[in-house]
Amino acid sequence: MKPISRTRPATGRIGRTRRYVALSSLAALTLAIGFTTSASTGQLMDTSATAAGPVSTARATALGPCMISGALGVQMSEGLPTGPGYTRSTGTVHALTLMIDFSDAPGEGSADARLAEFFPQTSEWFRTSSYGRLDYRPEVPVKGWLRMPKPFAAYGIERGAPFEPGYRDLVNDLVATADPEVDFREYDMVNVLVTPNAGPSALDTVLSVTFAGNQEAPIADGVPISNASFVYSRQDDGSGSYTQTGYRVLPHENGHVFGLPDLYTQNGGGAAGHWDIMSEDWGASNDLFAWHKWKLGWLDDNQVSCASAPGATEHKLTPLAERGGTKLAFVPLNSKSGYAIELRTHAGNDEAVCRPGVLIYRVNANVDTGRGPIKVMDSTKDSGGCTRRPNVQAELSDATYTPGETFTDKKRHISIAVTSAGKSGEYRVRVTRP
Ligand SMILES: [Zn+2]
């Protein structure tokens, strides 16, 4: 089979240099002693603002076994709830968006045109994926390119560059330059859209990076720049153009700001395929896993069905792209991992789905970002997949289970059978477990 990902050089796929700053163990300790979870959103709030009440207790009882969590120190865990320090992922979020350039890489075209590569598409993507729960507003208080005081080369930013010292210098300079026009307290996160002529082409090296939950970041107007995404170059959508899907690097980077880990690994998209933008943000549009939507507070608890009881249970799933209904069934294996079950169709943000059906994947909250915290179970191993779209991992594109098919974990005596598909688009699934 001809590899579809050929249009994207291996250096780009394997050496993704996206970085983030993991929570320090001190911050995690704070989580344990000083914070509680909001029952309605899963977002972390200070105990002074949210008291654990009857609803929290009910959640712990009904969904508790499915709220897996990782050990302290896991980098950007898939666990629930998301740790403190990340940007809130529901309601109205104000994203300070700055276009920057350098004396050795003067702004290419207008700053407005650079902004238009990402907006309004990024806001629309979030509105669709969140069922309207995330109102994402780019805010552009500085018109035109913001010129950094030093040449790009002086910051030493290259593939894999850590926060220290280059990015700290850059953020310090950015704050000092923008400060007369910007009150940093007014924003929930920062997007830095770098002029595309600074640094290498995205086809050679991916420089785009996010520093998330970084409380040690430089302070501006009294608040740390703790959640910031930097986007470089332009991402070809596989057809030689970036205009259709090139924006997708930004919702991926912002996913980190909201606490989501990278799902691609050293082997590219082989673990999670094209089923989540945290796995593949190149090529055709895709959505997020239902697990991520629950984690982000975009699903109500009553849209999640926890299959923790022994024996057989029935679960009716509605398509992930549609509003309402049960979106996620989860089969916890232990306190740290389990199987997630959802229904994916060609709709909403999912434009590359070529075999609609029930997707089953293993979530492990104890696995670091980039090490494969989510693995999709392939119903059709070694089939070569059902898509030939550029920049879409092909093999897992037909991983879904359709009516009459059953996934079995022989070792754990677990089976997940797709029993029927209804006229209005819902699927029924039977989970059997010890
Ligand atoms: Zn990433």
28 has a pLDDT exceeding 50 = no
The CA 231 to ligand 1 mean position distance, Å, reads 11
The CA 410 to ligand 1 mean position distance, Å, reads 33
**pLDDT computed for residue 23 by the predictor:** 34
CA distance 277 to 270: 14
| Residue whose tokens read 């293993």 | 362
Model pTM score: 0.87
202 has a pLDDT exceeding 90 = no
Q: Which domains occur in the chain, in start order?
A: 25-83+286-433 (no CATH), 86-257 (3.40.390)
Among 59-63, 79-83, 215-219, 310-314, name the one with the lowest average pLDDT.
59-63
CA distance 89 to 418: 32
The CA 382 to ligand 1 mean position distance, Å, reads 27
For residue 417, what pLDDT band results from cuts at 50, 70 and 90? very high
Tokens of residue 401, six digits: 């289970």
**pLDDT computed for residue 237 by the predictor:** 60
Instruction: List pLDDT tens digits, range 323-339.
Output: 999 999 999 999 999 99
Q: Which of helix, strand or coil describes residue 303?
A: helix
Distances (CA, A) of 52 to 28, 88, 218, 271, 300: 19, 19, 33, 37, 17
CA distance 23 to 256: 12
The CA 240 to ligand 1 mean position distance, Å, reads 22
The CA 411 to ligand 1 mean position distance, Å, reads 33
CA distance 347 to 322: 8
State yes or no: cis peptide before 200, omega within 30 of 0.
Answer: no
Tokens of residue 93, six digits: 């979020």
The CA 173 to ligand 1 mean position distance, Å, reads 24
The CA 262 to ligand 1 mean position distance, Å, reads 5
376 has a pLDDT exceeding 80 = yes
Closest CA to 195 of 164, 238, 169, 157: 157
Distances (CA, A) of 194 to 129, 197, 212, 224: 26, 8, 18, 21
Among 84-93, 201-210, 293-302, 342-351, name the one with the lowest average pLDDT.
201-210
pLDDT above 70 coverage of the chain, percent: 85
**Mean pLDDT across the chain:** 87
User: Alpha-carbon Rg of the chain, whole angstroms?
Assistant: 21
The CA 80 to ligand 1 mean position distance, Å, reads 19
286 has a pLDDT exceeding 90 = yes
Residue 175 host element (H or E):
helix 168-178
Closest CA to 356 of 399, 385, 391: 399
The CA 269 to ligand 1 mean position distance, Å, reads 12
CA distance 258 to 295: 10
For residue 231, what pLDDT band results from cuts at 50, 70 and 90? very high
The CA 250 to ligand 1 mean position distance, Å, reads 10
For residue 240, what pLDDT band results from cuts at 50, 70 and 90? low
Residue type, 407: F
Tokens of residue 345, six digits: 């169709």
**pLDDT computed for residue 158 by the predictor:** 87
Q: Find residue 311's DSSP bridge partners.
A: 433
**pLDDT computed for residue 239 by the predictor:** 62
3 has a pLDDT exceeding 50 = no
81 has a pLDDT exceeding 80 = yes
| CA angle, residues 268, 124, 423, in degrees to nearest 5 | 85
For residue 55, what pLDDT band results from cuts at 50, 70 and 90? low
CA distance 175 to 156: 18
HSE at residue 58, side-chain half, CA atoms within 13 A, is: 7
Residues with CB under 5 A from ligand 1 (ion): 18, 262
